[in-house]
Structure 1
Amino acid sequence: MTGPVSGRVSGPVRTVRIWALLAAAALRAQLRHRADLAFCVLGGLAFQGVGLAVVGTLLARFHTIGGWRPGEIMLLYGLRLTAHGLWTVPFAQLLNVDQAIQQAELDRYLTRPAGVLVQLLTRQLAPVSLGDLAGGLAVLAVALPATRLSRSPALVGYLLLALAGAALLEASLHLVTAALAVRLAHTTALTLTTDNLFNTFGNYPLRIFGPGLRWALTAAFPLAFAAYFPAAALLGRDGELWVPPTVAWAAPAAGVLLVAVAYRFWRYQLAHYASSGS
């Protein structure tokens, strides 16, 4: 059986409204088990705390990482983690699309009036993501005064754009993996690889790595645009980059562009969906 894509056109406002209604229903279901919710949030905080402790250990030993001082490293870490939380709170189910396909849930979604992607995203919430978001905001709250960044409206606006752009960028990479799951069914390895790359390299100034890896994390896998380029621009370190400073300042736009491309790829793959039960 081949699953057709619904020809019904939904405006953005209607799509957001449907997502909000379904997400609210998922949240109400989650709140029935408040102890479990609390433990998941604490688990997320603990997991991210381990990563921060590793960075702290390196700073205690070497005092700087790639010439970046502790406050600057915390700003970089806080940017990446907050953006990670911003995308996973609403979109964490992108990590489980292959599971929904293997269980033939996608077949049911194709027969309903709501968008398939909206239904997938609201299958259930991922409470651990709230811990990621809370941890990222806490790190940023400490890092911003430590780096003495200007509180000018322009820089504050750029910081907010950088967070939104980084969240969209990470979401776009997982949306591509979700789209591949429509054809491949099993994409867990790709999902884990993407997460591992962000967790392994996203918390450090990329200048500490060799030229080949730096360019790979810029052009092939655009992790540099998520936190490192915006942080370098905010801190006035854009002179150390291997790209023009204007590219670093324009980093938030990369997330918007990539999520648009990823969504088109998702639509293309969905048009060729074949049920796992066929």
Structure 2
Amino acid sequence: MRKYQRMHLIFIRQYLKQMMEYKADFLIGILGVFLTQGLNIFFLQVLFQFIPSLEGWTFQQVAFIYGFSLIPKGIDHLFFDNLWNLGLRMVRRGEFDKYLTRPLNPIFHILVEKFQVDALGELLVGILLLSTTAPSISWTGTKMFLFVLSIPFSTLIYTSLKIATASISFWTKQSGAVIYIFYMFNDFAKYPLAIYNSLFRWFISFVVPFAFTAYYPASYFLNGTNAWFNIGGLLLISLFFFFLSLKIWNKGLDAYESAGS
């Protein structure tokens, strides 16, 4: 474990050195993500100027859900964004072969090779939203513990879905479109599920379970009810999808045949 932790830090340092060679690009990337999320919050604020609540949810509550959703998404984006490259080009171009010739677990190497600093924009907006909305919540020691616990498990759902969809490229040579289609469902989890119909609520809860990365845990912190489902469900769903994604990865790795020239 210490070996892998040390290697992860080495990869981060090396990638940061590369990024700092182009300081303007580094700053523009962070600013771009920050402005994108900021515009989404501005849209919400304008929306709530015309309606007092959204299916019974106030602006403060929706802003908390939105802010909470950005933390696991930002962490996954920051540390594990290289999975997009696996689905987009690595298998098709034969670049994945190098991971099989190095003394590191291939999936670990893929995950830690890239450090996506523009994710700091997402994390900054998420932290700002939580810091301004969290004081309105009645916090207890249990809630604070579960809040800290829920972040890595919510992140695990993002990473697991990316591992599973990126692994499809082992059979199809390219799966970037599949990753994109699945990944974009995370936007729906930033808002209360009550605004969607029952079939779609079920879909983003148990098929593409992004609702457990934001809405369900955030609703527990806001209302203090149904902890077994909102937090317990998060833990079970995240672990289930993680082991499922590893199963798909291993099956794909067995089927991998490299690329022709």
TM-score (norm 1): 0.87
Contact 1:18 1:114 in 2 (8 A): no
| Alpha-carbon offset, residue 265 of structure 1 | 2.1
1:218 to 191, 205, 213: 205
Aligned to 2:159: 171
Letter in 2 for 1:112: R
Aligned to 1:236: 223
Aligned to 2:69: 80
1:208 to 191, 195, 199: 195
SS of equivalent to 1:198: helix
| Correspondences of 1:1-278 after superposition (within 5 Å) | 12-98=1-87, 99-145=89-135, 147-150=136-139, 152-199=140-187, 201-236=188-223, 238=225, 246-253=228-235, 254-277=237-260
How many residue pairs end up in the alignment?
A: 259
In structure 2, C-alpha distance between the alignment counterparts of 1:183 and 1:157, rounded to whole Å = 42
Letter in 2 for 1:67: G
In structure 2, C-alpha distance between the alignment counterparts of 1:23 and 1:225, rounded to whole Å = 29
Residues 27-69 of structure 1: CA deviation (Å, up to 9, x unaligned)? 2211222221111100110111122222222222212112111
In structure 1, C-alpha distance between the alignment counterparts of 2:245 and 2:234, rounded to whole Å = 16
Residues 122-167 of structure 1: CA deviation (Å, up to 9, x unaligned)? 443322211111111111111101x2331x2211111112222111
Contact 2:166 2:176 in 1 (8 A): no
Letter in 2 for 1:177: T
In structure 1, C-alpha distance between the alignment counterparts of 2:207 and 2:244, rounded to whole Å = 15
- Alpha-carbon RMSD across the aligned residues, in angstroms, is 1.8
Q: Percent identity?
A: 23
In structure 1, C-alpha distance between the alignment counterparts of 2:25 and 2:182, rounded to whole Å = 27
| Alpha-carbon offset, residue 93 of structure 1 | 0.9
In structure 1, C-alpha distance between the alignment counterparts of 2:2 and 2:242, rounded to whole Å = 18
In structure 1, C-alpha distance between the alignment counterparts of 2:6 and 2:67, rounded to whole Å = 30
SS of equivalent to 1:32: helix
5+ residue gaps, structure 1, are 1-11, 239-243
In structure 1, C-alpha distance between the alignment counterparts of 2:99 and 2:92, rounded to whole Å = 14
| Alpha-carbon offset, residue 195 of structure 1 | 2.7
| Alpha-carbon offset, residue 245 of structure 1 | 5.2
Structure with larger RCO (C-alpha < 8 A, sep 6+):
1
Letter in 2 for 1:219: F
TM-score (norm 2): 0.92
Letter in 2 for 1:179: S
Letter in 1 for 2:192: P
5+ residue gaps, structure 2, are none
